[in-house]
Structure 1
Amino acid sequence: MMMVRGSVTSLFPGVLVSALLAGTASALVAAFGWHSVSPLLLAVLLGMALRAVVGARESLRPGVAFTVRPLLRAAVVLLGAQVTAAQVGTLGVAGLAVVAASLAASLWFTGRLGRALGVEPGLARLIGAGTSICGASAVLAVNSVARAEEEDVAYAIACVTLCGTLSMLAYPLLAEALALNPHVFGLWAGASIHEVGQAVATAFQDGREAGEIGTLAKLWRVMLLAPVVVTMGALLARRGGRGADGGPAPLPWFVAGFLGLIALNSAGLLPELVRGWAGQAAPFLLAMALGAMGLDADPSKLLARGPRPLLLGLGATLFLACFSLIGILCFA
């Protein structure tokens, strides 16, 4: 009992500081109306700034490790409470297929471009996941099987958030220039802009119809996070020699929980109170994980990555935007 109590006590400083970083980031975004700034990105930057001031503290390490692993996985599980199969089904077969094909093509393209640019494969996978699926949430979820360095995670999130912000600014201008109707614009925003908040906010700039379509398209991409994580984990295990018994790759518990909540929510078995609580808790836990990663990231290693990963993120963003728009105009 004393050992358990001591272990729990050792987690407290790191978890508390991570929570303070997340709370500060959320408060700053709300206070200054920074709608284009993700609290997740701000949390990681605050964490890195705090590390630069106070240095790496050994007392924070156990709580930081707990926050970037079990708490992060719990946040991914809670994302499932916001999605139902009936919601995304209203996009129709063509809409669902275009979004899924765009996601798959973007992952493939990012891997190929990453190799051409000489970007480390683990970092390229994280940038590909964040671009193709749902921003920082996807980066964190995929890293549970990719197991990249903390600096790679921080770089990928910063890169994906920057590219998503540029998309928020460019899409309304492009929609006007291309004379896109609200249905097409909403589906395009939901199919290609990175963060959930970025995609939804951009879609609603063209009215309610575009906003609702964009939200549904983005929820469908969030649902696809689970099969991507499972597939990537199986491929990496095979390449790395793990699971040499030839058996199927195990389903990560947090992915199983994510799918389970989607199933419960789709069946109408989740009370509105639980759904509301999950909707508030998931972003905060994700911000805590990002703050903790910022505390654990070495800025010198981050800068050593150079500009090539940023070029990868920009290239992947441009590819996804073009591929998805062409698919929507042709088939959806």
Structure 2
Amino acid sequence: MPPSLTRATAARSTLDSRLLPGLLVTTAGVALAIAVNALVPAVSPLMAALVLGAVTTNLGLSSPALRPGLQFAARGPLRLGIVLLGAQLALPDVLALGLPVLLPVVVTVTATFFGTQWLGRRLGLGRELSLLVATGFSICGAAAVAAMDGVTDSDEEDVMTAVALVTLYGSLAIAVLPQAEGLLHLSPEAFGVWAGASVHEVAQVVATAQAVGGAALTTAVVVKLTRVVLLAPLIAGVTLWRRRTAAPTEGRRPPVVPLFVAGFLAMAALRSLGVLPPASLAALKTAETLLFTAALFGMGAAVRLRALLRTGRRAVALGALSTTLVTLVALAGVTVLA
């Protein structure tokens, strides 16, 4: 074996051994997060993993030996999870909604994304935190936050704050929106559009629409997945903007379409063309959840709660304002449709 190849093999072996302790801890964290979700279904595995990772670090249970593996877990599984997320999208189902539904959804996403960032600046929050909250609230919650974190220089505390806000206000929507449906006298289809266009997480949308059931649930899921489709162009747009505005001295610019976003689009195309066997979709969904859970555990392990608490009140205010914005804009769209 050539000396250069021997050195490369030795370096790879050393790197793998450095990753192993952190990856083992991450695996245990994922298993515990899944168990928490099984005991308390209202707590998603992603949120449970994020909290468990933060607890591990802030109680002094972590060590420098775990850091390489935890840092890898926060990035590698995230990108693969986003690729698999594309398998849940059947574009014909999205297009079947028609322009009268698609247009209000796009308007809601756009207004929430840019409006939340403006509100964040008005509250004195950092640009990165405002961007993450805007992405999570306008698209698909924790997965969107993690995806945007993959193309930005956000602190892990910002990621944890954004995911916590998604969980808090999305959970409130599960209780509030079905009650409002009775007061507003919306049809099941109209309520489905409202829930799908305004509630943050896919699981939260399902829980909200199940209170009405029937056409409301089916419509809400398809509308929500329409928002998920917009994740790819949103990330590409942010990346392109940063390429154009970054100083030349900041190093190599990222690609306009990151590889994991291209993979997301490829999986969506395969699902839409019927190439993926129906029996494989459940397995892909499970793998996606496990990968995102691992990534959120790694992110949580990098969080320092003291730094997080410094932005607490203003971040909570931003979450409340952003939730109000997305809910009212979506409701206005539903009213126009009616």
Give the TM-score taking structure 2 as reference length: 0.93
Q: Please state how far the C-alpha of 1:52 moved relative to its aligned partner.
A: 2.3
Structure 1 Cα separation of the partners of residues 79 and 109 of structure 2: 22
Instruction: Indicate if the aligned counterparts of 2:56 and 2:62 stay in contact, CA closer than 8 A.
Output: no
Q: Please state how far the C-alpha of 1:144 moved relative to its aligned partner.
A: 1.3
Structure 2 Cα separation of the partners of residues 243 and 133 of structure 1: 32
Structure 1 range deviating more: 156-165 or 266-275: 266-275
Task: Report the counterpart of residue 323 of structure 1 in structure 2.
Answer: 329
1:271 alignment partner, one of 273, 277, 296: 277
1:17 alignment partner, one of 25, 36, 39: 25
Task: Report the counterpart of residue 128 of structure 2 in structure 1.
Answer: 122
Q: Please state how far the C-alpha of 1:56 moved relative to its aligned partner.
A: 4.1
Task: Report the counterpart of residue 290 of structure 1 in structure 2.
Answer: 296
Structure 1 range deviating more: 217-226 or 4-13: 4-13
Q: 3-state SS of the aligned residue for 1:296?
A: coil
Task: Report the counterpart of residue 314 of structure 1 in structure 2.
Answer: 320
1:176 alignment partner, one of 175, 182, 201: 182
2:194 is the counterpart of 1:195: no
State which structure, 1 or 2, has the greater radius of gyration over its C-alpha atoms: 2
Instruction: Indicate if the aligned counterparts of 2:49 and 2:297 stay in contact, CA closer than 8 A.
Output: yes
Query: Cα deviations across residues 72-120 of structure 1 (Å, max 9, x unaligned)?
Result: 1000000001111111122111111111110001011101111111111
Query: Cα deviations across residues 205-251 of structure 1 (Å, max 9, x unaligned)?
Result: 21121000000001111111000000011112222225999x99531
Task: Report the counterpart of residue 132 of structure 1 in structure 2.
Answer: 138
Task: Report the counterpart of residue 5 of structure 1 in structure 2.
Answer: 13
Task: Report the counterpart of residue 46 of structure 2 in structure 1.
Answer: 40
Paired AA for residue 227 in structure 1: P
Query: Cα deviations across residues 267-308 of structure 1 (Å, max 9, x unaligned)?
Result: 111123432221001111111111111111111111122310
Structure 1 Cα separation of the partners of residues 322 and 299 of structure 2: 24
Instruction: Indicate if the aligned counterparts of 1:238 and 1:244 stay in contact, CA closer than 8 A.
Output: no
Query: Cα deviations across residues 183-209 of structure 1 (Å, max 9, x unaligned)?
Result: 011111110100110012211221121
Structure 2 Cα separation of the partners of residues 172 and 322 of structure 1: 15
**RMSD value, Cα:** 1.8
Q: 3-state SS of the aligned residue for 1:251?
A: coil
Instruction: Indicate if the aligned counterparts of 2:36 and 2:43 stay in contact, CA closer than 8 A.
Output: no
Instruction: Indicate if the aligned counterparts of 1:37 and 1:165 stay in contact, CA closer than 8 A.
Output: no
Paired AA for residue 292 in structure 1: G
Structure 2 Cα separation of the partners of residues 327 and 88 of structure 1: 17
Task: Report the counterpart of residue 241 of structure 1 in structure 2.
Answer: 247
1:26 alignment partner, one of 31, 34, 47: 34
Structure 2 Cα separation of the partners of residues 166 and 36 of structure 1: 11
Structure 2 Cα separation of the partners of residues 290 and 203 of structure 1: 26
Q: Please state how far the C-alpha of 1:19 moved relative to its aligned partner.
A: 2.0
Instruction: Indicate if the aligned counterparts of 1:56 and 1:296 stay in contact, CA closer than 8 A.
Output: no
Task: Report the counterpart of residue 167 of structure 2 in structure 1.
Answer: 161
Structure 2 Cα separation of the partners of residues 16 and 5 of structure 1: 17
Q: Please state how far the C-alpha of 1:36 moved relative to its aligned partner.
A: 2.6
Task: Specify every segment of 5 or more residues in structure 2 that has no aligned partner in the other structure, as ranges.
Answer: 1-8
Instruction: Indicate if the aligned counterparts of 1:204 and 1:212 stay in contact, CA closer than 8 A.
Output: no
Instruction: Indicate if the aligned counterparts of 1:146 and 1:236 stay in contact, CA closer than 8 A.
Output: no
Q: Please state how far the C-alpha of 1:317 moved relative to its aligned partner.
A: 0.5
Identical aligned residues as a percent: 38
Task: Report the counterpart of residue 78 of structure 1 in structure 2.
Answer: 84
1:251 alignment partner, one of 234, 242, 257: 257
Structure 2 Cα separation of the partners of residues 300 and 84 of structure 1: 43
Give the TM-score taking structure 1 as reference length: 0.95
Structure 2 Cα separation of the partners of residues 86 and 311 of structure 1: 38
Task: Report the counterpart of residue 54 of structure 1 in structure 2.
Answer: 60
Task: Report the counterpart of residue 97 of structure 1 in structure 2.
Answer: 103
- Structure 1's 244 and 294: CA in aligned 2 closer, same or farther, altered over 3 A? closer
2:217 is the counterpart of 1:214: no
Task: Report the counterpart of residue 151 of structure 1 in structure 2.
Answer: 157
Structure 1 range deviating more: 50-59 or 117-126: 50-59
